Amino acid sequence: MIDRIGEDFDFYQKALGLRQQRQEVLATNIANSDTPNFKARDVDFAASLREAMGDRLRLPDTQLSLTSARHIPAQALTSGPGTELYRVPTQPSLDGNTVDMNVERIQFADNTMRYQSDLSILSQRIKTLMMAMQN
Protein backbone atom coordinates (compact mmCIF):
# COMPACT_ATOMS: atom_id res chain seq x y z
CA MET A 1 0.00 0.00 0.00
CA ILE A 2 2.75 2.45 0.93
CA ASP A 3 4.61 1.63 -2.31
CA ARG A 4 1.50 2.49 -4.33
CA ILE A 5 1.12 5.82 -2.56
CA GLY A 6 4.82 6.56 -3.08
CA GLU A 7 4.55 5.81 -6.81
CA ASP A 8 1.51 8.08 -7.06
CA PHE A 9 3.31 10.97 -5.36
CA ASP A 10 6.43 10.31 -7.44
CA PHE A 11 4.35 10.74 -10.59
CA TYR A 12 2.95 14.08 -9.42
CA GLN A 13 6.37 15.28 -8.27
CA LYS A 14 7.88 14.59 -11.70
CA ALA A 15 4.88 16.03 -13.54
CA LEU A 16 5.03 19.26 -11.53
CA GLY A 17 8.80 19.48 -12.03
CA LEU A 18 8.39 19.14 -15.79
CA ARG A 19 5.61 21.74 -15.83
CA GLN A 20 7.92 24.10 -13.94
CA GLN A 21 10.74 23.45 -16.41
CA ARG A 22 8.39 24.13 -19.34
CA GLN A 23 7.21 27.33 -17.66
CA GLU A 24 10.82 28.52 -17.41
CA VAL A 25 11.45 27.77 -21.10
CA LEU A 26 8.29 29.65 -22.11
CA ALA A 27 9.21 32.59 -19.86
CA THR A 28 12.65 32.69 -21.49
CA ASN A 29 10.99 32.83 -24.91
CA ILE A 30 8.79 35.74 -23.83
CA ALA A 31 11.71 37.59 -22.22
CA ASN A 32 13.75 37.26 -25.44
CA SER A 33 11.00 38.25 -27.85
CA ASP A 34 13.04 41.26 -29.01
CA THR A 35 16.46 39.58 -29.04
CA PRO A 36 17.84 39.25 -32.57
CA ASN A 37 18.45 35.66 -33.74
CA PHE A 38 16.83 34.16 -30.61
CA LYS A 39 15.21 30.81 -31.39
CA ALA A 40 12.03 29.98 -29.46
CA ARG A 41 12.01 26.60 -27.71
CA ASP A 42 9.47 24.37 -26.03
CA VAL A 43 9.36 21.07 -24.16
CA ASP A 44 7.32 18.07 -25.31
CA PHE A 45 5.67 17.47 -21.94
CA ALA A 46 4.18 14.04 -22.67
CA ALA A 47 7.43 12.61 -24.04
CA SER A 48 9.46 14.11 -21.19
CA LEU A 49 7.10 12.63 -18.61
CA ARG A 50 7.32 9.21 -20.26
CA GLU A 51 11.11 9.47 -20.14
CA ALA A 52 11.10 10.60 -16.50
CA MET A 53 8.80 7.80 -15.38
CA GLY A 54 10.63 5.12 -17.36
CA ASP A 55 8.78 1.93 -18.21
CA ARG A 56 5.98 2.57 -15.73
CA LEU A 57 4.12 4.82 -18.19
CA ARG A 58 5.30 3.21 -21.40
CA LEU A 59 2.68 1.20 -23.22
CA PRO A 60 3.92 -1.94 -24.96
CA ASP A 61 4.41 -1.90 -28.72
CA THR A 62 1.42 -3.40 -30.50
CA GLN A 63 1.14 -5.34 -33.73
CA LEU A 64 -2.09 -6.50 -35.34
CA SER A 65 -2.66 -10.10 -36.28
CA LEU A 66 -3.59 -10.59 -39.92
CA THR A 67 -6.43 -13.00 -40.63
CA SER A 68 -6.41 -12.43 -44.38
CA ALA A 69 -3.72 -11.78 -46.96
CA ARG A 70 -5.68 -8.70 -48.03
CA HIS A 71 -5.47 -7.03 -44.62
CA ILE A 72 -3.09 -4.14 -44.20
CA PRO A 73 -0.34 -4.84 -41.66
CA ALA A 74 -0.16 -2.27 -38.85
CA GLN A 75 1.74 -1.68 -35.67
CA ALA A 76 1.85 0.98 -32.97
CA LEU A 77 5.20 2.01 -31.53
CA THR A 78 5.62 4.39 -28.64
CA SER A 79 7.79 7.40 -29.27
CA GLY A 80 11.26 7.87 -27.80
CA PRO A 81 12.32 10.22 -25.02
CA GLY A 82 11.48 13.90 -25.28
CA THR A 83 13.92 16.79 -25.39
CA GLU A 84 13.76 20.53 -25.65
CA LEU A 85 12.72 21.40 -29.19
CA TYR A 86 12.91 24.54 -31.31
CA ARG A 87 9.63 26.01 -32.52
CA VAL A 88 8.97 26.28 -36.22
CA PRO A 89 8.12 29.95 -36.83
CA THR A 90 4.82 30.80 -38.50
CA GLN A 91 6.04 34.27 -39.49
CA PRO A 92 9.82 34.60 -39.29
CA SER A 93 11.06 38.08 -38.49
CA LEU A 94 13.76 39.97 -40.35
CA ASP A 95 16.13 39.83 -37.37
CA GLY A 96 15.98 35.99 -37.16
CA ASN A 97 13.93 35.88 -33.94
CA THR A 98 11.36 33.05 -34.00
CA VAL A 99 9.31 34.07 -30.93
CA ASP A 100 5.62 34.55 -31.75
CA MET A 101 4.19 36.34 -28.73
CA ASN A 102 0.62 35.14 -29.39
CA VAL A 103 1.75 31.50 -29.36
CA GLU A 104 3.96 32.02 -26.32
CA ARG A 105 1.23 33.72 -24.29
CA ILE A 106 -1.25 30.95 -25.07
CA GLN A 107 1.26 28.21 -24.25
CA PHE A 108 2.27 30.01 -21.04
CA ALA A 109 -1.34 30.39 -19.90
CA ASP A 110 -2.14 26.77 -20.81
CA ASN A 111 0.87 25.45 -18.92
CA THR A 112 -0.01 27.62 -15.90
CA MET A 113 -3.56 26.27 -15.90
CA ARG A 114 -2.32 22.68 -16.11
CA TYR A 115 0.21 23.29 -13.31
CA GLN A 116 -2.56 24.64 -11.08
CA SER A 117 -4.79 21.69 -11.98
CA ASP A 118 -2.05 19.23 -11.10
CA LEU A 119 -1.58 20.98 -7.74
CA SER A 120 -5.32 20.86 -7.06
CA ILE A 121 -5.50 17.15 -7.87
CA LEU A 122 -2.48 16.41 -5.68
CA SER A 123 -3.94 18.47 -2.83
CA GLN A 124 -7.24 16.60 -3.09
CA ARG A 125 -5.45 13.22 -3.06
CA ILE A 126 -3.55 14.20 0.08
CA LYS A 127 -6.78 15.32 1.78
CA THR A 128 -8.44 12.02 0.82
CA LEU A 129 -5.53 10.02 2.25
CA MET A 130 -5.61 12.03 5.47
CA MET A 131 -9.36 11.43 5.84
CA ALA A 132 -8.84 7.69 5.27
CA MET A 133 -6.13 7.57 7.94
CA GLN A 134 -8.29 9.38 10.50
CA ASN A 135 -11.15 6.90 10.17
116 three-class SS = helix
**pLDDT grade for 122, boundaries at 50, 70 and 90:** very high
Q: What is the pTM of this model?
A: 0.70
Q: Give mean pLDDT, residues 64-91.
A: 69
Runs of H (alpha helix) within 32-100: 45-53
Please state the domain extents for the chain: 2-134
pLDDT tens for 17-27 read 899 999 999 99
Average of per-residue pLDDT across 74-86 = 59
Give the C-alpha separation, 42 to 46, whole Å: 12
Mean pLDDT of 6-12: 83
